[in-house]
């Protein structure tokens, strides 16, 4: 089970070469097995980035989301338990979306695919896949 960080989802959708070959291979395999996930907070992040014109979406985020789901991406919604765990992450930086995505990975025992150094260097039992490998 792989959970994509927001930037990894964007890179995957755009065919961005920053997504490494090893990461892409594992993502493709997870997708084939219906084990590729995104935390729903990522859609909020993407919508905000689009609104601020930091990314350019070729279609409305709602339609883009439905397209991703129809191609096999699975969602993990924010639950009360994940929200509480996100607030209680020890020695973790303050970005709320990163906290929720990380707590989602922990709560579901998913491997988090991320290039975010702050997350990758966090000293915890989090299973990681470097998005740039």
- Tens of pLDDT, residues 7-38: 999 999 999 999 999 999 999 999 999 999 99
Strands 111-114 and 128-130: parallel
Q: Is 133 helix (H, G, I), strand (E, B) or coil?
A: coil
- Global pTM reads 0.96
* CA distances (Å), origin 22, targets 7, 27, 77, 110, 130: 16, 9, 27, 17, 9
Domain ranges of the chain: 2-130
- Tens of pLDDT, residues 57-82: 989 999 999 999 999 999 999 999 99
Distance CA 130, CA 8 (A): 10
Start-to-end CA span in the chain (Å): 18
**Any idea which fold 2-130 has?**
Rossmann fold (3.40.50)
């Amino acid at each position: 089970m792989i959970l994509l960080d927001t930037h990894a989802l964007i890179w995957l959708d755009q065919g961005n070469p920053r997504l490494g070959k090893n990461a892409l291979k594992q993502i493709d395999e997870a997708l084939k097995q219906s084990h590729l996930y995104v935390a729903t907070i990522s859609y909020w992040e993407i919508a905000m980035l689009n609104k601020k014109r930091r990314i350019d979406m070729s279609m409305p985020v709602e339609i883009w989301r439905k397209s991703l789901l129809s191609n096999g991406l699975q969602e993990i919604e924010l639950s009360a338990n994940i929200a509480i765990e996100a607030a209680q992450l020890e020695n973790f930086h303050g970005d709320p979306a990163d906290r929720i995505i990380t707590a989602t990975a922990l709560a579901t025992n998913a491997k988090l695919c991320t290039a975010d150094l702050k997350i990758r260097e966090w000293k915890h039992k989090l299973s990681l896949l470097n998005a740039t490998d």
